[in-house]
Structure 1
Amino acid sequence: MSRPIVVDSVASLRTQVRGWRREGLRVAMVPTMGALHDGHLSLVRIALESADRCVVSIFVNPTQFAPTEDLDKYPRRLARDLDQLATAKADLAFTPTVGEMYPAGFATRISVGGPSAGLESDFRPSFFDGVATVVAKLFLQATPDCAVFGEKDYQQLCVVRQLCRDLDLPVEIIGAPTIRDAYGLAMSSRNAYLGAAELGIARQLNVILRKAALALAAGSDRIDAINEANRSLITAGFQKVDYVEARETQTLAPWRQDRPGRLLAAAWLGNTRLIDNVEIPSA
């Protein structure tokens, strides 16, 4: 079992991808910030079902962190990540420095409207501009045929799809199901911050969301169901709830009973912020 090819410059990345193109191979990409877990590896496997080669980027993107967020302590485990990518049979790891991605004088930023409104943007105002900018750069650098994003970051998935539609980026965006532990907790690199007691509380997040989604599907008043979910999260031990909201599946506009929907939430355990979402079952 060999590790993937590792490159840290855009020029080297493009040279490798050009070689694959000359062979007539289809290329997929999985953008990550590293600290890989089973959820990330599932994205690689899905990518390789749709393409002949898979590029995984590992880059902790500073432009999507606010000054008060955890950029400096975000876990960085490159050697371990490369071992994991070998098990998933990724072909190439792109590991650029901040200077490679944002050289001196960099002055461009992409802002995506539509599905970026509200939810995460209410609490992390610069987040999706940073995501859109780095994803656009990665797509232009690697020129993938398709890219895989997890549904755990559901609003991000919708924003990336909007970005590709609006800018005519020729990349097929594939949404991958959220990978969960045996108790239903969504896999996340930030789960590493949680102690044993906090993990027990964190595992209630998905349980509470599913109960609220079933209530909405059964015709419960939207505000009542969301308020009950907020109360249940605090009772379970979460210190603060940033939001629990029902949105339409595709546009993330406010949900109506006759539309496919998604229930999304963000809540805090100590200094760790967890997000999750579940589908609102069809009536």
Structure 2
Amino acid sequence: MNEKEITKYFDFTVNKLSDPSGLFSINNTLFDEFNPKSANEREEFLDLCDEIKSFGVNHGYFKIIGKPANNSGYFKLTEKGIELKKFGKGHEKFQKGLKKEPLTRYQKIYLTFFILFGIIGAIRLFIPSHINKGNENNQTIENQIKATRSLKFSLKNTSEFDLKDITIGLPDTALTYNFLAKNTQTEWTHVKSAFHYGFVRFFDTKDRKYFIQPIDYMGEKAFEKGELTYVIKNIDSINQAFELDFDYLDESNIK
């Protein structure tokens, strides 16, 4: 299912909520609309619900309140989600409206770095070349700035299973990997921030599905610099469960 279809059903779910401040189940909200009967229809319905949950959490519209026995999950709209509900015109138009609002903290940080790089570039352009060649401090400053701009993220598979169709949900983005062999690790990716755990979903080579959905991040502090690795281990193929660990290297120890 592509992002356009997911966005369509996400908007449908939000608009159908009668109480923006109350608890709701995505599965129950959509069940009457799809009324899945066959095993194949039920599987497609549950996959769609998972996609909507991930979309809502990763974009900051939903927060998980509890998880009942049927694993469907209860949710509540965040302040951003309530604004979307009141807006009533869907995610895409809502996002366009947000772009006109004042700069966020992250945008201000990036703007500062952009101006700083512009100043460095102007200095190197107008100062005589022989002075630039003898001044290695400029390059050192640029390297230090580049190293502290963002968090480096990687995913490691220490299990005995090869994994495929992997999705990692972080506060500001979603990462996807087509395949990750056992006892291997992905290349580093620059991201804005991440907590020590997050949404993780993947399949093994027999198409068994595994996922972890965080409840919330209340009281947690996000990593914004350094190197963070999510570690998938101890996969239980019978119960379709696994452990998610992490390794973090503080930027002050990175050489």
Higher strand share: 2
Compute the TM-score of the two structures, normalised by the length of structure 2.
Answer: 0.25
Compute the TM-score of the two structures, normalised by the length of structure 1.
Answer: 0.23
Relative contact order, higher structure (CA 8 A, sep 6+): 1
Bigger Rg, structure 1 or 2: 2
